[in-house]
Amino acid sequence: MERLEFILGFTHTYRIDRYLGFPILIGSIQKPYFSFIIDKIQGKLAGWNQKLLNRAGRVTLANSVISAIPTYVMHNCWRPEGICDQIDQTVRGFIWGSSTSHWVPWETITQSRARGGLGVRKAREANISLLGKHIWEVIHNPDKLWVKLMTNKYLNHNSIFQSMSPRGATFTWSSILKATNFLKDGFFIRIGRGDVSLWYGK
Amino acid sequence: MNYQDTHLRVKDLWNNGSWNFSMLATILPNDMKQQIRSIRINDIVDDIIIWAPSADGIYSASTVYKWLTSTPSTIDTSEVSWTWLWSLNIPENIRFFLWLSLHESLPTNMFRVYRHLSLDVNCCRCGLFQKDILHLLRDFQKAKSIWSYLNWPRAMLLIIITQKIGFRTTSKEIKAFSFP
């Protein structure tokens, strides 16, 4: 080991922790892996901030925190339901304060501003919409390296919309497939030459 | 679907610039035929998969988010756009206040009684009227005098806002009436 270290110039470690701020995922992915997101969000939305800001300010801060902190992780991972709920709860609690009741329903707040909401993003839906970018890549950029790798390994020339999650697939791929289940109905074929089957789509 | 048709491709039904349904063994409903007739085959363009909810068919996280959060109850075409509120040139916290009042979500006595936080719906200052948002912002004696003190463009805001609130309440009441 020491000789290897000497030759390669690396040092060894028994703790595989994080890479680019993202915990390295090994084995089955469970909730504790993601609790660092909650810690970060709660850190930014700490109590003293809440006391100093009015509600409008709290909404702005909450929006910037939840859109910035978990985005990278949301891109690649299907976050566990519990984590999403906890993020949403933290945000709600921060906006309204723990002692008062919530004056406007969460469903309304999470609509866009043009639709009468405050543009706060629900964690689950934001997660799906970011994962969906990979679906788009799989369809439209088949020459990308990761797309080649994943499609050859898991799709076998099938369409991503008909694919089932294979057992033991990598977490990223099964995350993408989970998002596909939600987004399927939004993808349509725009007919050009008309080479596609009359009955079987996508 | 009839088994004879399984191999057909879209362009097989396209015959010199119009759709030819007679070669199908399957019987299609008329409204579906009508929908198909609005599509045209174009030889120089590929069939591509698009993201339908966005205007240009290109995937973007924001259109997806919008699509995911539109439950049937929120897709209400009569609902007016709220952009006017966010483009008002006033401080953000005032906009937030207006936003709350447009949702009838200021903790007035009406609101509190509705949520079982209070028993008295009347205004705690004049004691005569029900204390709802229109009373608070428009009908209350003090509010009136403040508004009359302000100059024209600002007072205009009051008219717009109370109209919007009034519109929203009536539309809600109508809904409640027609869908008991």
Quick check: is B65 in a domain? no
Per-residue model confidence (pLDDT) at position A168: 76
Helix or strand holding residue B154 (H, E): helix B152-178
Q: How high is the pLDDT of residue B176?
A: 40
Residue A2 to chain B, least CA–CA distance (Å): 48
Q: Residue B99 class from Cβ within 10 Å (0-12 exposed, 13-18 middle, 19+ buried)?
A: buried
Give which of A70, A45, A71, A68 is closest to A58, Cα–Cα. A45
The reported pLDDT for the residue numbered B175 is: 40
A198 chain-B contacts, CB cut-off 8 A: 5, 8-10, 12-13
B24, B91: one domain: no
Overall number of domains in chain B: 2
Burial of B38 (C-beta count, 10 Å sphere; 0-12/13-18/19+): exposed
- Classify residue B125: in a domain, yes or no: yes
Same domain, B90 and B10: no
Nearest CA in chain A to B111: A103
The answer to whether residue B138 is domain-embedded is yes
Of B48, B95, B103, the CB nearest to A56: B95
What tokens does A87 get? 């993020």
Query: Do B45 and B88 belong to one domain?
Result: no
A104–B105 C-beta distance less than 8 A: yes
Low-confidence ranges of chain B (pLDDT < 70): 1-4, 71-80, 121, 124-125, 127-132, 138-139, 151-180
Q: Tokens 């362009």 appear where?
A: B11
* Same domain, residue pair B52 and B90: no
Distances from the Cα of B154 to the Cαs of A40, B30, B88, B159, in angstroms?
A: 43, 56, 11, 9
Contact across the interface for A187 and B49, Cβ inside 8 Å: yes
Q: Where are the alpha helices (DSSP H) in A28-68?
A: 35-44, 47-52, 55-68
Same structural domain, B43 and B115: no
What confidence tens digit (pLDDT) does each residue in B74-122 have?
444 445 677 777 877 778 888 888 888 777 777 777 777 777 777 776 7
B17 and B54 co-located in one domain: yes
In a domain, B72, yes or no: no
User: Is there a single domain that holds both residue B51 and residue B114?
Assistant: no
Residue B74 lies in a domain: no
H helices of B38-132, where? 61-69, 83-86, 92-102, 109-114
Q: Encode chain A (202 residues) as per-residue pLDDT tens digits.
A: 788 888 888 877 776 666 766 666 666 666 777 787 888 888 888 767 777 888 888 888 888 888 777 677 777 888 888 888 888 888 888 888 776 778 888 888 888 888 888 888 888 888 898 888 888 888 888 888 988 888 888 887 778 887 777 777 788 888 888 888 888 888 888 777 777 777 666 6
> Measured between CB atoms, does A164 come within 8 Å of chain B?
no
Nearest neighbour of A114 by CB, restricted to B1, B69, B83: B83
Do B162 and B116 lie in a common domain?
yes
Domain membership flag for residue B67: no
pLDDT for A202 equals 63
Domain that holds residue B47: 1-59
Other C-beta atoms closer than 10 Å to the C-beta of A126 total 25
Q: Are B127 and B52 in the same domain?
A: no
0.85 surpassed by complex ipTM: no
Last residue of a domain, one of B59, B75, B98: B59
- The answer to whether residues B93 and B165 belong to one domain is yes
The answer to whether residues B111 and B27 belong to one domain is no
Is the same domain home to B167 and B121?
A: yes
